[in-house]
Structure 1
Amino acid sequence: MKTPKLLLGLLLSFSLNILFAQTKFEWKTGTSGGYTYRYVTNDPMKARFYKLKNGLTVILSENHKEPRIQTLIPTRAGSNTDPRTNTGLAHYLEHMLFKGTDKFGSLDWAKEKPLLDKIDDLYEQYNKTTDSTKRKAIYKEIDRVSGEAANFAIANEYDKLMASMGAQGTNAFTSFEQTVYTEDIPSNAIDRFLTVQAERFRHPILRIFHTELEAVYEEKNRGLDNDGRKVFENYYNALFPTHNYGQQTTIGTVEHLKNPSLIEIRKFYDKYYVPNNMAIIFAGDFNSDVLIKKIDEKFAYMQPKPVEEYNPAPEKPLTAVQTREVFGPTPENVTIAYRLPGAVDEKNKVLATLTDEIMSNSAAGLIDLNLNKQQKILGGSSTVQAQKDYSVWVLSGRPKQGQTLDQVKDLLLSQVEILKKGQFDERLIKSIVNNYKLNQIQGLENNNSRAYPLLSSFIISKGENWLSNVSSLDAMSKITKKDIVDFANKYLLENYVVIYKRKGKDESIKKVEKPAITPVETNRDKQSEFLKTVNDMPMADIKPVWLDFKKDIKKGKVGKAEVLYVQNTDNELFRLGFRFKMGTYHNKLLSLAAQYLQFLGTDKYTAEQLSQEFYSVASSYNIQSSGEYTTLRLSGLQENFNKSLALVEHVLKNCKADEAALTALKERIIKSRADSKLNKGAIMQGLMNYAQYGAKNPFNNQLSNEELKAVKSEDLLKILHELLSYEHTVIYYGPQLLAAFEANLPKVHPIPASFIPFPEKIDFKQIAQEKNQVFFADYDMVQSEISWVRNTVPYNPAQTPTIDVFNNYFGGGMASIVFQTIRESKALAYSTYAYYNTPSKKGEKYSLVGYIGSQADKLNDAVAAMNELLNNIPDAEKTLEVAKKNMKKTYDTERITQDGIIYSFLSAQEHGIEYDERQKTYDAIDSIHFSDLKKFADENLANKPYTYCIVASEKQVKPDDLKKYGEFKKLTLEELFGY
């Protein structure tokens, strides 16, 4: 899905040419704290680029908004650099960099090492053996020796190290040109973090390999069930017949996954994980002069080596359209992909960006106005996928009911022809530039928004293109309509790839079969001396900041409407909300009316003109209707507040019926509904709602298709015209002072003297699970997905601290009991969790939701494993200690700001409390012991009835086999979806 990039329009009232004429961008050298660095003048992120003596790149961008830091440690090696004989190797290695070294992750390295060496040898034998009987015998020996070696291993010690210092977002990812290790750490954890990372990359040990290999198998099988991934792989394969972009996938082939070589993985590490091929990127709250010295001291041990970059011969030009088909259970769609120059070519990168935005910017692009707004297709978009050697421009579209994929393809290509002919307003280019400038300002507040562009610059050019990145707005402002038309006519020829995603069985799928694996010891309560040393390192004190709703929120009044106000002291942006205590539980037509509105004109504007008007005044709005609430949100520049809100008022009060638009909308909704029934995630959501609420539930609280067809324009227009006459709370975050806001608002938003009463609400009651049940839905896929559902007792704020600790200890994150047991020890799933969910308001019940996504042939083992944990929560003192430390350090550095303060207050109101609930938990954490969690679990979860919600293929999982878990019921899609 394309991320909306152009949410706001014109940023400045003066000429960008004047602005950029006063701005100079160039590389400069600075020296501070004894270190020399490079920087780009007028860089809003003020990024510093250091090169240490061993060649390690360090990139720092300070942001002191909150006491946290986003860290990225990239290596310029990914699937492109995998040997053709061992694809998936970079990704394997990414997984193994979480397993520790000879100093952590091991209880006794001297005893563990000989066993790991033996495992190395066994895998080499396994890879060279073709006889299936002999292979099974060797794997059985691998399993045996691995179990013996695991007695000396400490699973997830890396995750415990990071959790103990308050890290969040512990993860990594691999793609074509990079492998990146990510952490979000408290700013007082720098010393601990650097100590762990320096050790992590010193001498990684490939321990607990065969269970982690099984996790990769699971990831591969998930990919086989992912039609979107298959479409992606197909158009890359067609666009790049020789380049590794198209010739080997990141996760690797099934054959290579079955025959891993630990020796080859180590060779890969030794070849590419060298300082002159790596970087350390920090964005957040730190002192650069202090930090660079610490990084230098910790990573000086790394020795550089020559690195041979992947440098293939150029691809030959594509001279004909190529067509591929992908089959699978998900809805049909069409994808068109063009090969473009790589992101190293900065001018072409800018031209590709502008071309893409003119085509689709989620507001006023060609696809947005000509196809989506006119409902000619179910939905369409475009995006640029930028890589170093080549970029790819992708257009995608979904068909309406009765529409063929070829018709969607032709409509998308017709917009390309409009682009190539230059049939678009040149003023759109300036609007795009202004929006990028605005997004840049917004991004400065966010550490992620700082870190990831720096990462991209390092991967593409080792940071050398940062100057062109910083000056890209300048470059964009100089692009003319002719430049874009010339670019389009040069590259957008009869040289594209078309992928038809059709519904049907994929006969090419070759599942990675489940090997026989004996659960291994995780030693979850053991610790290495290294962990103890790190945890003893001092951390400067950071005090938590709690919300005080009486001080942090100002309350006002405009007529009969309450105003909740927080001032924006950072910039000139505003966010306005009108919150109505009325949702789809009150009127099923509310969400339909909101959808209808986007296609309606008024007596003054057409629907397309309205989109352009909102875009031109730097604003965007939407109406979201959920069960009990409807919220109208408007955002933009304060200077255009009145005009923006006046437009919203005008649209709502003066929108006119458009019968053709309504007919098209109904047809699209019916097609979207049919598509939803092909979505396994939506099916699981339906099963879980059925388990929680019964046959009539929030998920299927829908108009039937016949009811939808009978809806009239006047029914929907009445809702829209009257919406602002219902009681609503006004939510404002912006730069205007409260008194001025209260005085100004009635000028553009008159409040009625009396409000229309809300319609009567449907109440959905959670049911009690009195016996074990199995709700099953058949879906054609390789994997099986199982969710556990149990409603318990009504919300009680006194239970919040215990519940929060329980969730962190038991089922949340990679250091939790559930993850360690089900994935690390038993290798039963790639993804698993279990949470005790807090209801959204007082009076509703808590619910336990557990999940395992596993191979279908592991379903019985997976169910048994989760049930064992739910019935007898393991006592792991050290794991609990880590969970509590992580919670406290997270609270120390968590900051709720901006309009998040107001929405936190509204949530507290719903729970019947008037305080920041986090503070109660924080104060109670140290006094919560395992006995409290055990008592809580025994009372609410252990040996209690559950509803098992299972989505799987009947060809893989036999319904009769599921009856042993409880009363079995296969639910139809009509029962689940309500239509």
Structure 2
Amino acid sequence: MRKFYSLVLLIIAVASSLTVSAQGLKGFKLKNGLSVYIWEDSTKNDVFGLVGVKVGTVNDPEDLTGLAHYLEHMMFKGTQSISSLNWEKEKPLYEQIITKYDEMANEPDPVKKEAISLEINKLTVEAAQYTAPNEFAGLTENMGGKMLNAMTGYDETMYFSSFPPSQLYKWLDLNSERFINPVFRAFQPELETVYEEFNRSQDMQGSLQQDFMLKHIFPGHPYSRSVLGLQEHLKNPRLGGLVDFYNNWYVPENMVLILVGNVKLKEAMGLINDRFGRLEAQKSPERKSYPEMEIKGRTEYSAKMGDFPTLRLAFKGVPTGHTDELALTICVNMLSNRNRTGLLDKLSLSGDVLGADAGLINFKEQGRILILGIPYYDVNQRRFESIKSLEKMLLAEISKIQKGEFDEELFNSVKATLIRDFDLSFESSYNKAQKILSTFICNEDISNVLNYKEKVKTISIDQVKAIANKYFNKNYIALNYQPGKAPKAEKLSKPKYDPINPERGVISQYAEKFRKLPVRKVDPVYEKFDAVQVKKVNERSRLFYTQNKENAIFTLTLKYGVGTHEMPQLQYAVDLMNNAGIMGAYEPQALKQEFNALGAVCNFGVDDNYLYVSMSGYEENLEASCNLLTRQILMPKLDEKQLNNMIGSAYQMRAIEEKNENLLEGALHDYLLYQNKSEYLDRMPLEDIINLTISSLTGEFNRATDYEAEIHYVGSMPFNDVYDVLSKNLPLKATEKTSNSPVVKDRVQYKENTIYFVSDNDALQSKIYFYVEGNPFKVEDDVYYKAFNKYFGSGFGGLVMQEVREYRSMAYTADGGEITPPLANKNAYFEGYIGTQADKTIDAIDVFMNLLTEMPEYADRISGIKDYLREGLQTAKPDFRSRSQVYEAWKRLGYTEDPAKTQLPKIQNLSFEDVVKFYQQNVKGRPVAIGIIGDPKRINLDELSKYGKVIRINKNKLFSSK
């Protein structure tokens, strides 16, 4: 009690200055130096918990780059208590492994190195007999934890998850225990997993472009290299170095605990002190400092990488927390912003360039301003305009800010948008936690977060002009990217390691005690469908109203009941509508600015089933905003240059799609499911796109608005007032067409196992998809779908992640599970994925196919599955912004009330036999289709035939040729 009372006094002393303006935020320190922030928000269903550490890539030893990222992975491996079955027997093996890694790192002979690595493998396999892998993840998920993850940045590392409020003590116990005597077990297999992450990055042109950029704009600083580390260091790790790194940097004074959401300060304070107070106080090392680079004049670097010619200009910026940061943020947003009202945005909207953007990189020590441009593509001459002329255009727009040649309304609207976006972001517990973490990492005053809106208001036009002249000078770096493929890292052969084979069905003593820890009993709270008010607007269209008790910002989604499945041209019509003005009234950017003046932003979107018109803004201007939107939809102003720019972009995308990794993966995935009905094959011919006209596209868009619509509104105005405004000021037809959406496309019905192989000689990784057609979905089976997915392929504890990644290190990404349809009685289907080093392809498929054909049965896992499903129901509630759309999705599946009401009793009665029965009825014995993109020189294609009929497909067969 005395300790608790002392802590209260400490909190009052530290946090009293925050109380008035913090809206539930309290901050304090424990005696060991750990910083703690608690942000109470009783409107949330869950708590978001985060532990942050002031350490990242910047702190990597220069001969062991990637160490901070390694460590983030290893922090999931447990401690001398978590995941430990017999530490006394494991410890000597663990110590031998550490010694062997040091020995291997110092051995220059490659043959001897490999011999040592095989010795390490034997020790690792033996040590695994005394461990319960993935216990930390399993315990987190079994108490209803979600979003479990971690992230390594340049200046920070964070570990986080969300959890039910009733599980506060358990979460605090587990997440403090992980930092007490951690054991970096299974280092060798996890290192292979990290290498798979590295391989994946090497197959992504965007990642290679970023690496090239950072190398040249932050020379001489660790910011210049990838968080993953250098390849030569990945190949030559030191486990002892990892232990030292942890002991030096992971100390309480270097750490912060952040809890945001449905948590009570009075309840949490004593528990935090009791659990996290166990961490031993210790001083952390001094962080090494690096000199800021000097940029003299214009310096250009060129590279062939990416799909389009692209120019990036990098100017010296400021680190996070710098006194100029806010004014510079406003300045950059006046160049480009998400409302597309900036000076660079005008170049895109008018069709002068294919794309233009501006942004900031703010690290703890240094910062850069980035200006990006993609030149205009002339579809008639089949060529891009020059990079030189593009650069002149970009610099000309920047000079307008320096000279004050801009409308004051742009300045005011950018500030208003920053304030509105700040309020919207604070509806998210995750965003709140990230804001707090940033202030801790960068040693900022928390008032910078709390007083952000007031600080924005104080910035003047003169300050912005001065900032523009200060930072946009003649000293900058120009990065000239031309189309091509960048050289990749060395292709390594798979190691000859035996997989670890720990005993299944056993748990540590810590896990036994953890399961018995007290949990505050909470009666279930169910969603009430009448929390959303519904009323017909026309014959078929309906308004769905949800009250917003958080702020004065409304969100409106008009969801017309037709999409590209029935109207393919909508894809291109929507592109143009996002750039449209109003005939006889507003040019495109002038209209964007008019919306901005009202505090509103509007966007158009489309998918297979629906046309979306989304708008958000301040309710005081709701009627004016809706009126402006309706005029734009009914009388859009477009010009030929915009049309030609859009056609040129489409032409270029068709030209590069076989070379683009993401598009190629998407095309194979779609082909696997739909074959000739794939969206990459069953689409508008290029000739038809080139012949599109403004009238045909505006006509197509207007025909889409003939369909019935769902109007989802979230705001604080009374329902009747909202109904009155929207029914009179939205573009709804008096007699609407009936919607057929959502449409569920028919998938291929395979009669035998079939493997499609697509050659990609440059790929370091193989991308492997699995597909099994299922049965009609019935709402009464929903719990069985969820239970099977949790057991088979969901999260760290699923069979797929354990067998493919944890035990055999074959992939960084691996998953599998049933995909349920948006409508009852339509077929569900199984889908799986593995991304693995090319020469591991056959082994990885072997493992996955064994899971599909003879699923291992571990009946002891059912209690954890039931806990996960039960606790998850209480936190998996829609937030107020998405509530009405989630309710409608539930109703389409056949629910007439909160699914939790019918699912909870089924979860209570769930048995492992139910999971096995579901597998037998929906997966086992069914034909499996497999799609592979990989390097044929590193894959034994003859071996693929053991899985079924092998069909090799050229890339061009995945895309329509016209």
2-side partners of 1:441 and 1:299: how far apart?
Answer: 32
Tell me which of 565, 571, 592 is aligned to 2:551.
571
Matched residues, number: 946
2-side partners of 1:922 and 1:541: how far apart?
Answer: 15
Q: Assess if the C-alpha contact under 8 Å between 1:69 and 1:187 holds in 2.
A: yes
Q: 1:453 to 1:863 in 2, by over 3 A?
A: same
> Superposition pairs for residues 150-549 of structure 1, below 5 Å?
150-246=128-224, 248-328=225-305, 330-345=307-322, 347-401=323-377, 402-403=383-384, 404-461=386-443, 464-507=444-487, 509-549=489-529
Instruction: Give the aligned partner of residue 867 of structure 1.
Output: 849
1-side partners of 2:29 and 2:789: how far apart?
Answer: 42
2-side partners of 1:101 and 1:744: how far apart?
Answer: 60
2-side partners of 1:798 and 1:761: how far apart?
Answer: 21
Tell me which of 890, 898, 902 is aligned to 1:908.
890
SS at match of 1:733: strand
Instruction: Give the aligned partner of residue 665 of structure 1.
Output: 646
| Superimposed CA distance per residue, residues 844-869 of structure 1 (whole angstroms, 9 cap, x where no aligned partner) | 31111101001001000000010011
- Of 918-927 and 747-756, deviating more is 747-756
Supply the AA of the counterpart residue of 1:557: K
Instruction: Give the aligned partner of residue 118 of structure 1.
Output: 96
2-side partners of 1:569 and 1:389: how far apart?
Answer: 39
Q: 1:329 to 1:339 in 2, by over 3 A?
A: closer
- Of 496-505 and 445-454, deviating more is 496-505
Supply the AA of the counterpart residue of 2:358: S
| Superimposed CA distance per residue, residues 660-688 of structure 1 (whole angstroms, 9 cap, x where no aligned partner) | 32222211222233344433233222222
Tell me which of 666, 671, 685 is aligned to 2:666.
685
Q: Assess if the C-alpha contact under 8 Å between 2:545 and 2:714 holds in 1.
A: yes
| Superimposed CA distance per residue, residues 549-602 of structure 1 (whole angstroms, 9 cap, x where no aligned partner) | 3x2332212242333222223332222233322221221112222222233331
Instruction: Give the aligned partner of residue 592 of structure 2.
Output: 611
Q: Assess if the C-alpha contact under 8 Å between 2:413 and 2:599 holds in 1.
A: no
Supply the AA of the counterpart residue of 1:931: E
Shift of 1:45: 4.3
SS at match of 1:83: coil
Instruction: Give the aligned partner of residue 3 of structure 2.
Output: none
Q: Assess if the C-alpha contact under 8 Å between 1:372 and 1:380 holds in 2.
A: yes
Shift of 1:160: 1.2
Shift of 1:135: 1.3
Tell me which of 634, 638, 645 is aligned to 2:626.
645
Shift of 1:788: 0.2
Tell me which of 537, 542, 555 is aligned to 2:534.
555
Supply the AA of the counterpart residue of 1:832: A
Instruction: Give the aligned partner of residue 117 of structure 2.
Output: 139
Q: Assess if the C-alpha contact under 8 Å between 2:341 and 2:589 holds in 1.
A: no
SS at match of 2:198: helix
2-side partners of 1:97 and 1:612: how far apart?
Answer: 48
Q: 1:364 to 1:507 in 2, by over 3 A?
A: closer
2-side partners of 1:505 and 1:747: how far apart?
Answer: 54
Q: Assess if the C-alpha contact under 8 Å between 2:203 and 2:661 holds in 1.
A: no
SS at match of 1:378: strand
Instruction: Give the aligned partner of residue 720 of structure 1.
Output: 701
Which residues of structure 1 form unaligned runs of 5+? 1-28
Shift of 1:929: 2.0
SS at match of 1:341: coil
2-side partners of 1:295 and 1:45: how far apart?
Answer: 21
| Superimposed CA distance per residue, residues 429-460 of structure 1 (whole angstroms, 9 cap, x where no aligned partner) | 32222222222322333211210000000000
Shift of 1:329: 6.0
Which residues of structure 2 form unaligned runs of 5+? 1-5, 378-382
Q: Assess if the C-alpha contact under 8 Å between 1:657 and 1:717 holds in 2.
A: no
| Superimposed CA distance per residue, residues 214-270 of structure 1 (whole angstroms, 9 cap, x where no aligned partner) | 111111111222222222232222223222222x43221111111211111111111
Q: 1:954 to 1:184 in 2, by over 3 A?
A: same
1-side partners of 2:396 and 2:905: how far apart?
Answer: 62
Q: 1:36 to 1:579 in 2, by over 3 A?
A: same
2-side partners of 1:342 and 1:745: how far apart?
Answer: 45
Q: Assess if the C-alpha contact under 8 Å between 1:627 and 1:698 holds in 2.
A: no
SS at match of 2:473: coil
Q: Percent identity?
A: 26
SS at match of 2:317: strand
Instruction: Give the aligned partner of residue 13 of structure 1.
Output: none
1-side partners of 2:744 and 2:30: how far apart?
Answer: 64
Q: 1:237 to 1:767 in 2, by over 3 A?
A: closer
Q: Assess if the C-alpha contact under 8 Å between 1:333 and 1:398 holds in 2.
A: yes
Q: Assess if the C-alpha contact under 8 Å between 1:430 and 1:477 holds in 2.
A: no
SS at match of 1:151: helix
For normalisation by structure 2, the TM-score amounts to 0.94
Supply the AA of the counterpart residue of 1:386: N
Supply the AA of the counterpart residue of 1:710: N
Q: Assess if the C-alpha contact under 8 Å between 1:657 and 1:714 holds in 2.
A: no
Instruction: Give the aligned partner of residue 587 of structure 1.
Output: 567
Shift of 1:900: 2.3
- Of 140-149 and 900-909, deviating more is 900-909
1-side partners of 2:359 and 2:263: how far apart?
Answer: 35
Instruction: Give the aligned partner of residue 21 of structure 1.
Output: none
Shift of 1:41: 6.2
2-side partners of 1:900 and 1:223: how far apart?
Answer: 33
SS at match of 2:771: strand
Whether 1:104 and 2:108 are equivalent positions in the alignment is no
Shift of 1:824: 0.6
Shift of 1:758: 6.9
2-side partners of 1:496 and 1:651: how far apart?
Answer: 40
Whether 1:877 and 2:833 are equivalent positions in the alignment is no
1-side partners of 2:805 and 2:701: how far apart?
Answer: 50
Tell me which of 713, 737, 741 is aligned to 2:722.
741
| Superimposed CA distance per residue, residues 850-904 of structure 1 (whole angstroms, 9 cap, x where no aligned partner) | 0100100100000001001111111223333222211211112332242523212
Q: Assess if the C-alpha contact under 8 Å between 2:259 and 2:433 holds in 1.
A: yes
2-side partners of 1:747 and 1:150: how far apart?
Answer: 68
2-side partners of 1:889 and 1:446: how far apart?
Answer: 21
SS at match of 1:965: coil
Instruction: Give the aligned partner of residue 799 of structure 1.
Output: 781
Q: 1:109 to 1:898 in 2, by over 3 A?
A: same
Q: Assess if the C-alpha contact under 8 Å between 2:767 and 2:932 holds in 1.
A: yes
Whether 1:933 and 2:910 are equivalent positions in the alignment is no
Instruction: Give the aligned partner of residue 380 of structure 2.
Output: none
Shift of 1:111: 0.7
2-side partners of 1:200 and 1:58: how far apart?
Answer: 17
Shift of 1:905: 2.9
Supply the AA of the counterpart residue of 1:480: S
Instruction: Give the aligned partner of residue 8 of structure 1.
Output: none
Whether 1:775 and 2:751 are equivalent positions in the alignment is no
Q: Assess if the C-alpha contact under 8 Å between 1:99 and 1:205 holds in 2.
A: yes
Q: 1:35 to 1:301 in 2, by over 3 A?
A: farther
1-side partners of 2:335 and 2:945: how far apart?
Answer: 53
| Superimposed CA distance per residue, residues 85-128 of structure 1 (whole angstroms, 9 cap, x where no aligned partner) | 11111111111111111112111111111111111121111111
2-side partners of 1:369 and 1:341: how far apart?
Answer: 23
Q: Assess if the C-alpha contact under 8 Å between 2:24 and 2:41 holds in 1.
A: no
Q: Assess if the C-alpha contact under 8 Å between 1:219 and 1:830 holds in 2.
A: yes
SS at match of 1:324: strand
| Superimposed CA distance per residue, residues 682-727 of structure 1 (whole angstroms, 9 cap, x where no aligned partner) | 3222222222222123454421101111222222222334444433
Shift of 1:505: 3.8
Supply the AA of the counterpart residue of 1:281: I
